[in-house]
């Protein structure tokens, strides 16, 4: 079970949102690079970075600080990056800078051909993000709910060659109400590629639940507010996950 700390960037600072609301942001650090080094020092094997401003504007906004994060930790702790990745040239630039995985969300849903092109050009580096509420996919920083079924889209994108699906229950994200295990497992059973869980993870109980379904295809989890507010101790979570995963 891969446990992935998240750094969400808004105006160059490390923040967490509640249910994706840009107006409901809590600042946890003024120095995202130091925060990245902190997670590396605690044993993280991958880092999840989101350009929140970029997700809303559709283009990179926090690129200078992202470059610094990758330069500081990217060799030892692969970085997966999302937010505003809607152009192949931008993706190429980030990968050239050392980003290991790009996370494509809104652009994949709105323009599947773009995702297909990205998978062709950058095979082995593409994760698709499906953010859902009630089984339906949301786009544009979660501000718009589509009629697309999350499972149908995941199967379609699997055929394109994406490496994994990052599944977020947006009704739970940042709320510390517990992971939506049922929906996550349902999605993981529908595809052969790994599913990364996100949204609502609170404490070691959730880590236990996720590890119990690892064989179903839930192979990782992105951790945010629980780490920053202290309801989940990362070193303890890592030790538990390693123990349960053998």
Sign of CA dihedral 98, 220, 161, 65: negative
pLDDT category of residue 174 using cuts at 50, 70 and 90? low
pLDDT score for 142: 62
pLDDT score for 19: 67
Which of 21, 75, 87, 131 is labelled catalytic?
131
For residue 131, indicate whether it is catalytic.
Answer: yes
pLDDT, tens digit, for every residue of 88-146? 999 999 999 999 999 999 899 999 999 999 999 999 999 999 988 888 898 876 667 88
Q: Is the pLDDT of residue 171 over 90?
A: no
- Of 214, 182, 219, nearest to 200 by C-alpha is 182
The β-bridge partners of 47 are 79
For residue 152, indicate whether it is catalytic.
Answer: no
Which of 8, 51, 169, 206 is labelled catalytic?
8
pLDDT, tens digit, for every residue of 57-100? 888 999 999 999 999 999 999 999 999 899 999 999 999 999 99
Q: What is the mean pLDDT of residues 23-37?
A: 92
What is the C-alpha to C-alpha distance for residues 159 and 111, in angstroms, rounded to an integer? 15
């Amino acid at each position: 079970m891969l446990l992935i700390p998240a750094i969400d960037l808004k105006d160059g600072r490390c923040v967490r949102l509640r249910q994706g609301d840009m107006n409901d942001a809590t600042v946890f650090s003024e120095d995202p690079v130091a925060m990245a080094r902190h997670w590396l020092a605690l044993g993280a094997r991958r880092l999840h970075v989101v350009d929140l401003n970029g997700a809303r504007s559709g283009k990179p906004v926090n690129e200078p600080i992202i470059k610094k994060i990758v330069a500081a930790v990217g060799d030892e702790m692969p970085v997966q990056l999302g937010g505003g990745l809607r152009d192949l040239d931008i993706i190429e630039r980030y990968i050239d800078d050392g980003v290991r995985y790009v996370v494509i969300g809104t652009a994949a849903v709105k323009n599947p051909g773009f995702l297909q092109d990205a998978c062709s050009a950058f095979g082995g580096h593409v994760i698709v993000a499906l953010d859902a509420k009630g089984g339906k996919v949301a786009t544009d920083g979660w501000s718009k709910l589509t009629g697309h079924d999350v499972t149908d889209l995941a199967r379609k994108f699997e055929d394109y060659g994406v490496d994994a699906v990052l599944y977020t229950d947006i009704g739970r994200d940042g709320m510390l109400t517990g992971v939506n295990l049922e929906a996550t497992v349902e999605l993981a059973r529908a595809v052969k590629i790994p599913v990364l869980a996100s949204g609502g993870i609170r404490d070691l109980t959730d880590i236990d639940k996720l590890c119990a379904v690892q064989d179903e295809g839930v192979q990782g989890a992105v951790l945010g507010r629980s780490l920053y507010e202290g309801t989940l101790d990362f070193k303890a979570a890592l030790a538990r996950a390693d123990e349960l995963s053998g």
